């Protein structure tokens, strides 16, 4: 089989897409929000409107936790309890975009 220019382009696209997937999955190492007593309030706030098991499939499928509501609590408490941020910690608002809730 002869590999011509267009085949190389095709191969390059596949390699690029694979690389992107590997790159994205590597970023999932950020520590999740611990599911303990201290963090209970953030879980409760975010999931307070979770549709019950008898809600319609539609409602459950489109439910989004209230992350912005929960993030209000993060920084004040961490400051008060003296939980250190690592050096070079990224911009500190929107915690939950990086630190995921545990299921």
Phi, psi of 34 (to 5 degrees): -60, 145
Per CB under 6 A, 92 contacts ligand HEC: yes
Q: CB–CB of 73/43 below 8 Å? A: no
Near ligand HEC in 16-35, by CB under 6 A = 30-31, 33-34
- Please pick, from the candidates 41, 44, 53, 58, the single residue that binds ligand HEC as defined by CB under 6 A: 41
Shortest Å, Cβ 6 to ligand HEC: 39
Instruction: By CB under 6 A, tell whether 51 contacts ligand HEC.
Output: no
52 counts as binding ligand HEC under rule CB under 6 A: no
Q: Rank residues 55 and 93 by Cβ distance to ligand HEC and give the closer one.
A: 93
Query: Is residue 100 a contact point for ligand HEC (CB under 6 A)?
Result: no
To ligand HEC, the closest distance from the beta carbon of 94 in angstroms equals: 5
Interatomic CA distance for residues 93 and 98, integer angstroms: 10
Q: Please spell the DSSP secondary structure of 2-47, one letter per residue.
A: ---HHHHHHHHHHHHHHHHHHHHHHGGGSPPBP-STTTHHHHHHHT
């Amino acid at each position: 089989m002869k590999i011509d220019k267009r085949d190389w382009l095709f191969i390059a696209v596949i390699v690029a897409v694979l690389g992107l997937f590997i790159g994205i999955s590597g970023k999932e190492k950020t520590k999740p929000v611990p599911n303990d007593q201290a963090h209970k309030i953030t879980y409760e706030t975010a999931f307070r409107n979770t549709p019950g098991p008898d809600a319609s499939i539609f409602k459950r499928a489109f439910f989004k936790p209230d992350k912005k509501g929960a993030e209000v609590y993060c920084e004040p408490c961490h400051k008060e309890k003296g939980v250190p941020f690592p050096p070079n910690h990224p911009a500190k608002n929107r915690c939950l975009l990086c630190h995921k809730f545990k299921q």
